[in-house]
Structure formats: C-alpha cells, structure tokens
Amino acid sequence: MISSVPVLRIVGLGLLAAVGYGILHDQVTARICVECFTVGHPRIIASDSPTLLGLVWGVVATWWVGLPLGAMLALAARAGSLPRLEARDLRATVLILLLVMAVCAALAGFAGYEFALSGQMGFPSIWAVGVPPEKQPAFIADWWAHNASYDVGIVGGVVVCVITWWRRRRRSALLRS
C-alpha cells in the first residue's frame, strides 16, 4: 500500500517545480518578446504587462505537464516493494532537470534568434500581421526556447522517473548484500 502523504508531496514537487520553472521562464521570455504572449498565445487576460503575462502563462502552460510527471515520479519513487524514496530524496534530481531545461531553452532561443536574424528561417505568416518585423527574431527566440523547455522537460521528466526507479533497485541490492 502506498501512503498518500509522501505520494502527494512528490506529486506536489513535480507540480511546483514545473509551475515555478514556467513562471521564471515566462518572466524572461515575456521581456524578450511580449508579442509571443499577446499575439502567439490566446488572450486569457486583458493585459500587455510582461510581468502579469509571465505569471499567468507560467502557471497555465505548465501545470498540466508537472502534474502527470509528478504522479509518474511518485509511482517511480513509492510503488512496489523496493525501498521507497521521499520527496526530499528527489529534489536534487528535479533541480538538475530544471537547470538542464533552462540551459537548453537559452541555447535554443539563441539559435532561433540567429537563424531568424540571418534569414535562414522565415517567420510564420499566421503571426506576421501582429508582430513587427524588428521583433520577429525575438519572437522566434521565445518560440524556440519554449519548445525546448517542453521537449527537454517531458523527456527529462521520464528520465528522472527511470533514474528514480533505478536508484530504488540499487538501494535494494545494497540492502540485500
């Protein structure tokens, strides 16, 4: 039987890590190109404030990734007969994933910006009317950074679950020997 409090702490860790990262990420990207949020996303608040848009979208765009990944992490850490891990045992691994996501997002953003600036990448016509030409490379940078964060976060979240399960197996083997 899996005790619910440790499970909820792990699910909460996943959820809070994703939302916290999303808010910080969107605070940066909203300042790089606010049009990414005012033109490239549906209008969910009546504001052009980068701070407010970053806060709202930081939550809206990430909770749905953090919740299932947190649940998967809880299963990897607590299910079955192997020695169980607590949320505190997983914090460092989750933090490393967030740092890797941030680095990958920054690299992708820089690459997207350079490709757009050099003309090696066209601007999607669906957004061309609402984004001035001088802001289009920054928009592409945001777009690439966001996609990198999602891709690395989802794949990395699965990797963190596998590492967690592997840590439990290793701990079990050490206890038996």
Q: What is the pLDDT of residue 3?
A: 65
> Which pTM was predicted?
0.93
Q: What is the pLDDT of residue 1?
A: 52
Q: What is the pLDDT of residue 122?
A: 87
Q: What is the pLDDT of residue 73?
A: 98
Q: What is the pLDDT of residue 97?
A: 98
d(CA 148, CA 156): 11
d(CA 45, CA 38): 9
Phi and psi based region of residue 80 (left: phi greater than 0; alpha: psi -120 to 50; beta: remaining):
left
Please list the pLDDT of the chain residue by residue as tens digits (177 residues).
Answer: 556 999 999 999 999 999 999 999 999 999 999 999 999 999 999 999 999 999 999 999 999 999 999 999 999 999 999 999 999 999 999 999 999 999 999 999 999 999 999 999 888 888 888 999 999 999 999 999 999 999 999 999 999 999 999 999 999 998 887
